[in-house]
């Protein structure tokens, strides 16, 4: 299901706990675009809770978010999720609500591949395998 991500050599991961600063623990690049897969352990089972992306293809060129705190790092830290709240605030709240201790975030620089397309393909594969989207992707 996630095997297609293994072709990307510039990748990494980090662990985020409710008491951490997401900005401090996030090691995703601030000058690259790609996709990220968020895992957690819920009821003693490791599950994907979210798949996201940063960047897009425009006129054959990958467009990254702004320089500085940009790219995937900015999207992970300051991107809105669960309403108009940046993840650095919403993730700890949602984790506390569901009793989650930590999130494992795996990120992949999709190089010359359109992050929008890669995200779409991965979400489709997850939905085919599990019959539904990851829970945090299914929230409008």
DSSP string covering 39-97: EEEETTEEEEEEEEEE-EEETTEEEPPPSSS-HHHHHHHHSB-SSS-BHHHHHHHHHHH
pLDDT of residue 139: 74
The predicted structure's pLDDT at residue 114: 94
Q: What is the mean pLDDT of the chain?
A: 90
Q: What is the pLDDT of residue 86?
A: 92
> Which pLDDT belongs to residue 103?
97
The pLDDT score that the predictor gives to residue 44 is 84
Residue numbers in the chain where pLDDT is lower than 50: 67-68
pTM of the model: 0.91
**pLDDT score recorded for residue 67:** 45
Determine the pLDDT at residue 43.
80
Predicted pLDDT of residue 56 = 80
**Quick check: 107 and 35 in contact, CB under 8 A?**
yes
- The pLDDT of residue 8 is 96
Q: Tokens standing for 14?
A: 């980090």
Q: Would you state the pLDDT for residue 40? A: 95
Q: How far is CA 75 from CA 85, 86, 94, 99, 109, in A?
A: 12, 9, 18, 24, 13
Residue 66 confidence (pLDDT) = 61
SS3 content of the chain, % helix, strand, coil (to 5): 30, 30, 40
Nearest to 4, CA basis, from 101, 82, 117, 105: 117
């Amino acid at each position: 299901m996630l095997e297609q991500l293994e072709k990307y050599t510039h990748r990494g991961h980090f662990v985020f706990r409710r008491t951490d600063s997401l900005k401090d623990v996030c090691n995703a690049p601030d000058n690259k675009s790609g996709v990220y897969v968020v895992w957690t352990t819920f009821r003693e089972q490791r599950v994907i809770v979210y798949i996201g992306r940063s960047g897009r293809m425009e006129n054959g060129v990958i467009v990254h978010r702004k320089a500085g705190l940009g790219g995937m790092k900015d999207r992970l830290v300051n991107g809105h999720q669960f309403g108009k709240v940046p993840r650095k605030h919403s993730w700890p709240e949602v984790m506390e609500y569901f009793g989650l201790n930590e999130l494992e975030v795996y990120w992949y620089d999709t190089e010359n591949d359109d992050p929008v397309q890669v995200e779409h393909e991965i979400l489709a594969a997850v939905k085919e395998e599990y019959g539904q989207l990851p829970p945090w992707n299914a929230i409008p």
